[in-house]
C-alpha cells in the first residue's frame, strides 16, 4: 500500500504529501492531532510564458497564484471589458499585451500556455482553439457548459499532445490526498455513503457581483460575449453577473457541486454516478436570475473495481442563516471522514467502553441474556491538519500544471477527469429543469 501511495503522489507532479505521525488506526497508540506536510523538492524551473483569457475574479486569482511560481512570465491579457484590461496593466505591469480578442493571443508564438477564466459558455470554444494553436491550457471548472461539449474537448486534447489542466484545485490539496490514502488503507472500511454541503449568505456569495459605473456597450464587447449563444440586447446584469443565467453559467451545481464531485472522485477513484436526480428552488434571490438559490442532488454510484456501490447527497444553499458551512463527508462501514482541502477528521467506531461502569455491568449480564446483542461504541477521532506555511491547493494545482509542461508529464485533472466531474453537475441542472431522474454511463461518459 505504501509503495502504491508513493507512486500515486509522484504521478501528480507535486512534492509528496505525508503525515508527520502514523494514523492511530494503524498504531497501537495514536495522537488525536496529526500534521500534514508537503516536502519541497528541487524542481525543473524552465521559463514558461503565460497569458490570461478572462480577467474576472477567478482569472485574476489563478494568474496571481501562477505568478507565485518560479520563472512564470505573464505576457498578455484578454477581456471583453476595458476596465479589466486597465486593471491588468496596473496589477501586472504596463508592458502587457492587452486585447479583447483571444485569437490575438493564440497567434503569438512566444506564449506557451493560457489560463481560461471566462464564463462557462466560452470554455469549449477557447479550449479547442488554444489546443489547435499549440498552447497548453489551464481551464477553470466546469470544463464545459453542456454535456454535448465534453467529448469535443477531450478529442481536441488527445489530438493536440498538449497539457490540459481543469481548475478544481482541491484535487491537489493535502486534505484530499490524505483522505485518499486513508480510504485505500481501509481506515473507514468500505464506503457506502457520502454527502457534501456548500452554504453562503451574502450578495457576493450569491453572485450579486458589483457592476462598474462605466458599464456600457462602449466599454464591453457585448456582441462577442453572446456570440456562442442567444442574441440579446446589451444587459449589464447578464455580463457582470453571468452565473445567474443559463446561457452563460451552470448554476450552483456547475460552480460548487463540481468541486465536491472532483474531490470525491479523486479520493474514491470513481468515474461518477449512474443515476442523477435534483430538486430545489428560488427562495430568496429573486432578482431575475434563471437558476435556483437552493439546490439538492441525489446520486447513485455503481459497484466498480475501484469502490463498492454507494449513494451521494449534495446540497447548496445561498440563504443559509448559519453561513460558511462547507464540507465533504465520506462514510464507510467502520467510520467516516470529514474532508476539506486543508484537513481531515477521521472518525472510527472502534473504541472500547472499558471505563464506562454501566457498560461493564451490562457486559457481565450478557452470558445470562442475549450474548449476540451488539454494543454502541463511541467514535475514536483522529484529526489531520496542514502544517503552518502550507501554500495551499491552488498553488499546488499550478505546480502540477507547470511541472507537467516542463517534463512532458501528466496532471491530476485532465479533460477526461474534468468531464467526469462536470457531467453529473450538469445533469443535476437537467434533472432539476426536467423534473426527472437521468441515467448516466460514467465510463463511456454518455446519457443512457
Who contacts 175 (Cβ-Cβ below 8 Å, separation ≥6)? 36, 339, 340, 341, 342, 343, 344, 384, 386, 393
The mean pLDDT value for 177-204 works out to: 96
Q: What Rg value do the Cα atoms of the chain yield, rounded?
A: 24
Using CA atoms, how far residue 179 sits from 22, 170, 174, 333, in Å, is 14, 12, 9, 16
Q: What burial letters (b/e) apply to 407-426, b meaning 16+ CB within 10 Å?
A: eebebbbbbbbbbbbbbbbb
Q: What is the band of 245 on the pLDDT scale with cuts at 50, 70, 90?
A: very high
pTM flag (> 0.85): yes
* pLDDT value, residue 347: 94
The mean pLDDT value for 117-139 works out to: 98
* pLDDT value, residue 37: 84
pLDDT higher than 60, residue 115:
yes
The mean pLDDT value for 250-257 works out to: 98
- Indicate the average pLDDT of the chain: 90
* pLDDT value, residue 326: 87
pLDDT higher than 50, residue 3:
no
% of residues, the chain, pLDDT over 70: 86
* pLDDT value, residue 45: 86
For residue range 163-186, what is the model confidence (pLDDT) as tens digits?
A: 999 999 999 999 999 999 999 999
User: End-to-end alpha-carbon separation of the chain, Å?
Assistant: 36
* pLDDT value, residue 353: 45
Choices 3.30.360.10, 3.40.50.300, 3.40.50.720, 3.30.750.24: CATH for 171-364+373-447: 3.30.360.10
Q: Which of 111-125, 227-241, 340-354 has the lowest mean pLDDT?
A: 340-354
pLDDT higher than 50, residue 187:
yes
Q: Which of 161-165, 316-320, 365-369, 405-409 has the lowest mean pLDDT?
A: 365-369
pLDDT higher than 80, residue 359:
no
Task: Kindly report the backbone phi and psi dihedral angles of residue 91, in degrees, each rounded to the nearest multiple of 5, phi listed first.
Answer: -80, -40
Q: What is the band of 41 on the pLDDT scale with cuts at 50, 70, 90?
A: low
The mean pLDDT value for 374-381 works out to: 75
pLDDT higher than 50, residue 28:
no
Choices 1.10.10.10, 3.40.50.720, 3.30.429.10, 3.40.1260.10: CATH for 48-167: 3.40.50.720
The mean pLDDT value for 392-409 works out to: 96
Cα separation, 444 vs 448, in Å, equals 10
The neighbour count for residue 85, using CB atoms within 10 Å, is 18
Nearest to 212 by CA among 170, 175, 241, 188: 241
For residue range 62-99, what is the model confidence (pLDDT) as tens digits?
A: 999 999 999 999 999 999 999 999 999 999 999 999 99
* pLDDT value, residue 39: 73
Q: What is the band of 362 on the pLDDT scale with cuts at 50, 70, 90?
A: low
The neighbour count for residue 95, using CB atoms within 10 Å, is 7
Query: DSSP string of 410-440?
Result: --SS-HHHHHHHHHHHHHHHHHHHHTS-EEE
Cα separation, 61 vs 81, in Å, equals 17
pLDDT higher than 60, residue 100:
yes
* pLDDT value, residue 323: 72
Q: What is the band of 222 on the pLDDT scale with cuts at 50, 70, 90?
A: very high
Cα separation, 108 vs 342, in Å, equals 38
pLDDT higher than 50, residue 14:
no
Task: Kindly report the backbone phi and psi dihedral angles of residue 326, in degrees, each rounded to the nearest multiple of 5, phi listed first.
Answer: -135, 125
The region, left, alpha or beta by phi > 0 then psi within -120 to 50, assigned to residue 367 is: alpha
Query: Would you state the cell numbers that stand for residue 152, as one nine-digit string?
Result: 469535443
* pLDDT value, residue 352: 45
For residue range 288-320, what is the model confidence (pLDDT) as tens digits?
A: 999 999 999 999 999 999 999 999 999 999 999
* pLDDT value, residue 367: 52
* pLDDT value, residue 7: 43
Using CA atoms, how far residue 398 sits from 25, 40, 68, 175, in Å, is 33, 15, 10, 17
Domain borders along the chain are: 48-167, 171-364+373-447
Amino acid at each position: 500500500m505504501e509503495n502504491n501511495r508513493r507512486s500515486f503522489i509522484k504521478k501528480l507532479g507535486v512534492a509528496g504529501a505525508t503525515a508527520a505521525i502514523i494514523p492511530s488506526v494503524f498504531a497501537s497508540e495514536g495522537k488525536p492531532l496529526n500534521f500534514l506536510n508537503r516536502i519541497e523538492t528541487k524542481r525543473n524551473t524552465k521559463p514558461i510564458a503565460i497569458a490570461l483569457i478572462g480577467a474576472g475574479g477567478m482569472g485574476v486569482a489563478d494568474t496571481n497564484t501562477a505568478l507565485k511560481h518560479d520563472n512564470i512570465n505573464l505576457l498578455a491579457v484578454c477581456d471583453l471589458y476595458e476596465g479589466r484590461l486597465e486593471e491588468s496593466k496596473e496589477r501586472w505591469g504596463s508592458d502587457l499585451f492587452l486585447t479583447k480578442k483571444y485569437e490575438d493571443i493564440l497567434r503569438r508564438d512566444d506564449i506557451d500556455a493560457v489560463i481560461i477564466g471566462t464564463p462557462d459558455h466560452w470554455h469549449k470554444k477557447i479550449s479547442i482553439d488554444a489546443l489547435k494553436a499549440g498552447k497548453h491550457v489551464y481551464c477553470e471548472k466546469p470544463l464545459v457548459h453542456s454535456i454535448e461539449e465534453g467529448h469535443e474537448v477531450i478529442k481536441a486534447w488527445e489530438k493536440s499532445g498538449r497539457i490540459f489542466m481543469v481548475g478544481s484545485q482541491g484535487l491537489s490539496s493535502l486534505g484530499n490526498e490524505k483522505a485518499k490514502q486513508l480510504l485505500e488503507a481501509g481506515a473507514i472500511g468500505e464506503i457506502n455513503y457520502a454527502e457534501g454541503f456548500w452554504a453562503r449568505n451574502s450578495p457576493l456569495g450569491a453572485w450579486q457581483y458589483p457592476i462598474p459605473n462605466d458599464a456600457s456597450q462602449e466599454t464591453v464587447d457585448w456582441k462577442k460575449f453572446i456570440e456562442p449563444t442567444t442574441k440579446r440586447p446589451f444587459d449589464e446584469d447578464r455580463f457582470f453577473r453571468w452565473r445567474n443565467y443559463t446561457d452563460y453559467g451552470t448554476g450552483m451545481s456547475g460552480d460548487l457541486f463540481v468541486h465536491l464531485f472532483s474531490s470525491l472522485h479523486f479520493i474514491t477513484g470513481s468515474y461518477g454516478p449512474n443515476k442523477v436526480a435534483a430538486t430545489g428552488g428560488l427562495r430568496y434571490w429573486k432578482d431575475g436570475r434563471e437558476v435556483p438559490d437552493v439546490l439538492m442532488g441525489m446520486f447513485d454510484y455503481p459497484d466498480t473495481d475501484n469502490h463498492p456501490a454507494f449513494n451521494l447527497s449534495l446540497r447548496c444553499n445561498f440563504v443559509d442563516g448559519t453561513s460558511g458551512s462547507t464540507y465533504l463527508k465520506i462514510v464507510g462501514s467502520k467510520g467516516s471522514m470529514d474532508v476539506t482541502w486543508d484537513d481531515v477528521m477521521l472518525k472510527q467506531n472502534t473504541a472500547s467502553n472499558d471505563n464506562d461502569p454501566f457498560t461493564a455491568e451490562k457486559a457481565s449480564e450478557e452470558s445470562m441474556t442475549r450474548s449476540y446483542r451488539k454494543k454502541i461504541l463511541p467514535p475514536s477521532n483522529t484529526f489531520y491538519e496542514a502544517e503552518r506555511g502550507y501554500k495551499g491547493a491552488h498553488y499546488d494545482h499550478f505546480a502540477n500544471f507547470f511541472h507537467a509542461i516542463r517534463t512532458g508529464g501528466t496532471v491530476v485533472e485532465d479533460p477526461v477527469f474534468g468531464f467526469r466531474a462536470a457531467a453529473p453537475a450538469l445533469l443535476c441542472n437537467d434533472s432539476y429543469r426536467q423534473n426527472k431522474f437521468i441515467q448516466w454511463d460514467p465510463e463511456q461518459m454518455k446519457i443512457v
